[in-house]
Amino acid sequence: MSQALPTFPSRKFSMSRGSQTPTSNTTSSTSDAFKGAADVAHNIAETGAESAGMGPQMSQGQSTPTAPSSSSEPNPATAVTIPYPKAVDYLTRTLAEIKQFKLELDHLPQHTASNSYPPIALIYGKTTPTVYGAKVESREAIPRADCYDELAFASGDGVVLARAAMVPEGYSVVRGGVVSSDRGHITLLGDLEAVGKCLVAVLGARRSGVGLGGTGIEASKVRSGDGLGVQMKPMVV
């Protein structure tokens, strides 16, 4: 009977039952290799994170012991980069220049009377908590670098307080020239809408004669609505 049955050529890519074992072994070895590579990459990532100081610090309410930092590594908060006499000389010179600058900003009533001050507008931030001081135990603790943990915050742009961004006392801001922004200190001038409002206010006040001397005073009488805004008391130095 078997001789009467026709014979067919074998299929090129067919697999018999006996040939399945090597294939499964190959697949198993390949998956093991991928798993080993993944474990190596995971270990490298964890090692890099821990060396960079980003490793987990707490686990199930228990602190994980960390390697003690080397005493030879400088602390940026307390590292001294210049000698003490040079630091004192720098602060003496710089603080004197800053005080002179602030004194030169003192309001002069005669300039306001003669309409000599140009139109002023300003942009300020008030949405970012800004440090304005630190609570220390006593005056003796002020020179210490490890006592500035309890900081006091107020509204500002992250660097300058909102109230400190106003014009000095005695000066006046043009109508519509006080513009708030939700930007931070670095990107404050990137708020094009706020900048545009200030420019419109300044140009409008200039057209009204603000800062043009006697000619501007006559023009401001005609168009008083675009003149100066709220005037403050002279700054006491």
Segment 95-151, tens digit of pLDDT: 999 999 999 999 999 999 999 999 999 999 999 999 999 988 888 888 887 888 889
Question: Which residue's entry shows tokens 């090129």?
Answer: 12
Could you give the CA distance from residue 183 to residue 158 in angstroms, rounded to a whole number?
A: 9
Residue 129: enclosing H or E segment and its boundaries?
strand 128-134
Q: Which stretch, 59-68, 121-130, 223-232, has highest mean pLDDT? A: 121-130
Average confidence score pLDDT of the chain: 75
Give 142-169 as a DSSP string. Answer: TT-TT---SEEEEEEBSSSBTGGGSPPT
Domain ranges of the chain: 84-121+167-231
Contact between residue 117 and residue 171 where contact means Cβ atoms under 8 Å apart: yes
SS3 223: coil
Please name which of 125, 126, 122 lies closest in space to residue 198, comparing C-alpha atoms. Answer: 122
Q: Which residue has the higher pLDDT, 63 or 136?
A: 136
Q: Is the pLDDT of residue 227 over 60?
A: no
Sign of the dihedral defined by the CA atoms of residues 189, 194, 197, 201, in that order: negative
Dihedral of CA 219/225/226/229: which sign? positive
More confident residue, 167 or 67: 167
Two tokens at 171? 């000066």
pLDDT digits (tens, 9 = 90+) for 42-62: 555 444 444 444 433 333 334
Could you tell me the two tokens for 82? 């210049």
What are residue 229's phi and psi, to 5 degrees?
-95, -140
pLDDT range class, residue 213, cuts 50, 70, 90: confident
Residue 152's pLDDT is what? Answer: 93
Averaged pLDDT, 159-183: 95
Residues sharing a CB contact under 8 Å with residue 136, sequence separation 6 or more, in sequence order: 142, 147, 148, 150
Residue 228 pLDDT: 47
Q: Residue 168 in contact with residue 108, Cβ under 8 Å? A: no
Residue 228, both tokens: 């100066």
